[in-house]
Amino acid sequence: MGLDRETDEDHSRGNDPGDDRESGHAAGREDGPAAEGAPARRDRAVLAAVAQGLLSEERAVIALLDVAGIRASAAALRSAFAEVTAPGTAVLHAFAVKATPLVPVLRLLYDEGIGAEVASPGELALAAAAGVRAEHTVLDSPAKTTAELRQALALGVAVNADNPQELGRLDALVGSPGPGPRSPLGLRVNPQVGGGSIGALSTATATSKFGVALRDEGSRSWVVRACLDRPWLTRLHTHTGSQGVPLELMARGVRETYELAEEINAAAGRQQIDTIDIGGGLPVNFTSDDETPTYAAYARLLRDTVPGLLDGRYGVVTEFGRSLLAKHGTVLARVEYAKSAGGRPIAVTHAGAQLATRTVYDPASWPLRIAAYDAGGHPRTGPVVAQDVAGPACFAGDLLAENRSLPLLGQGDLVAALDTGAYYFSNHYAYNSLARPGIYGFLPSPGDGGGIRFATVRTPQTVEEIVAESGGAHADALRADRDELPEGH
Ligand SMILES: *Cc1c(COP(=O)(O)O)cnc(C)c1O
């Protein structure tokens, strides 16, 4: 089956941005580090980041990753599927690299039995740099070039074709006689089951750009024929949406894909489709520290909705992104100035559109919880006041939170943007040439009662790097008196 990674042997365990959102701080912190939950770990990490000088005049914004939390989410994913699949079922969980494209994170996840889903040469290189083997890597992009397909096949990476033209390219690369390709090859289908609450993330609408639209006239029979004509096509792939798509809709998309696989296998008279890639998309709760919905709930819903998928006849690939990382990231920024306008207090911080791009441009879809700390890194107390938390960028909409009730922030205080572990470290934005912040993982420090150790995951971008990526080497390129073409033009 090719999915030989032992991801299923471990049966151990299983939005509205209103003013009533949680403070983001641990209610009580009487327990020791072993028993503490994510909010208490986060509060201790903020305190330690200040004490250890991680936040400074030069580094007025940083990002933190909770290593214990990431490990726990990976374990929860594996055990959830282990509980609902028949013994011996090959399951590959492939992390959607676009959610958190950081090599140390990919390696941490790989240690926890999670492979990689990649959608570009860059993401493929990140997975390789993290040591993720080809057989634990899946390539799915809607616009793969022939060169990218050739490279994936040479490596043995699984590929899901998006459309008939891409299948045509695979035909040419696979060739007719001889043994089939090493790469497991699949076709992405769009069951057109409908969208969720965020249009830009709804991938199974009638007119979605992804996959072969199954309900279009003649489409389903075309897919069946396309598979029968290609004995090497052994997988179907679907990803019915991300944040905002209800679990029931996701499960229905998986069921439609499973039913298509059954139809193809019946027509082929053999188990030609041997693996179904169900995509990712588990939504994340951005309104409190509760990790809901859980992987266990989704896995049980799949068992009830599509029992045949999990009875051992099919291998299963998953591609969760946001749900593995979101809750484990915290952006921490200093309040540079506290001011007021029109009666509204405004905390001007160093975290804005350059790293919370979606939140700033579409705050209704992507609200973030904000936790307030004092300059020493202790949870800020004091009367709660509606205020704006602004970013550093030069446009009026650069707000992390608008009219949010928080203890009144003062100059030198800290704000934490919570649940930022997924997509916030990939959706950076070069507005105002603001630097990408450093990212640091935090772990318990062995030996020193309850201490915290920080590990650099990504160094802060330097001003020199900004100049270099902004054409610094080509300063003269546009001058009229140049008569030669520059090298490497
Ligand atoms: C984005 C994406 C995912 C991951 O989605 P999440 O909402 O982050 O879980 C999985 N598969 C495909 C094909 C995607 O495009």
Residue 385 counted as domain residue: yes
Instruction: For residue 282, tell me if it sits in a domain.
Output: yes
- In this structure, what CATH number is given to the domain that contains residue 354? 2.40.37.10
Of 77, 242, 245, 277, the one to substitute when testing ligand 1's pocket (max ligand atoms within 8 A of C-beta) is: 242
In a domain, 60, yes or no: no
User: Which entry of 394, 430, 455, 467 is annotated as an active-site residue?
Assistant: 394
Q: Verify that 233 and 345 share a domain, yes or no.
A: no
Number of domains comprising the chain: 2
Domain boundary residue, one of 298, 324, 350: 324
**Hey, which residues does 399 pair with through a beta bridge?**
390
Ligand 1 pocket, residue 322 CB under 6 Å: yes
> 116 in ligand 1 pocket by Cβ < 6 Å?
no
45 within a domain of the structure (yes/no) = no
Q: If we measure between CA atoms, which residue out of 77, 295, 276, 271 comes closest to residue 191?
A: 276
Residue 370 placed within a domain: yes
Q: Which domain holds residue 23?
A: 8-34+67-324
The answer to whether residues 237 and 261 belong to one domain is yes
Among 324, 341, 368, identify where a domain stops: 324
Model pLDDT, residue 17: 38
Q: Is the domain of 270 the same as that of 386? A: no
Does residue 62 lie within any of the structural domains? Answer: no
Q: Are residues 311 and 352 in the same domain?
A: no
The verdict on 163 and 206 lying in the same domain is yes
Q: Is the CB of 98 under 6 A from ligand 1?
A: yes
- 394 catalytic? Reply is yes
Centre of ligand 1 from the C-alpha of residue 96, in Å: 6
Q: What is the structure's pLDDT at 9?
A: 36
| pTM of full prediction above 0.85 | yes
- Please check whether residues 307 and 331 belong to one and the same domain: no
Structural domain includes residue 99: yes
Assess whether the C-beta atom of 242 lies below 6 angstroms from ligand 1.
Answer: yes
The verdict on residue 331 lying in a domain is yes
- pLDDT of 207: 83
pLDDT at 197: 80
Retrieve residue 8's tokens: 């299923």
Asked if 293 and 323 touch (Cβ cutoff 8 Å), the reply is no
pLDDT score, position 483: 60
One domain, residues 382 and 406: yes
Q: What CATH number is given to the structural domain containing 166?
A: 3.20.20.10
pLDDT score at 31: 46
Q: What is the pLDDT of residue 202?
A: 76
User: Is residue 363 located within the same domain as residue 415?
Assistant: yes
Identify whether residues 342 and 320 lie together within a single domain: no
Average pLDDT for runs of 10 along the chain of length 489: 39 37 59 70 97 94 98 98 97 98 98 98 98 98 96 97 97 76 94 82 82 93 97 95 88 97 98 98 95 97 98 98 98 98 97 96 96 98 96 95 98 98 94 97 78 96 97 95 62
Q: What tokens appear for 229 in the block?
A: 């004509």
- Note whether 347 and 386 are same-domain residues: yes
Residues 128 and 188 in one domain: yes
Q: Which atom of ligand 1 is nearest to the CA of 423?
A: 8
One domain, residues 354 and 262? no
What is the per-residue pLDDT for 181?
Answer: 82
Mutational test site, ligand 1, from 97, 117, 285, max ligand atoms within 8 Å of CB = 117
Domain termination residue (choose one: 266, 291, 324): 324
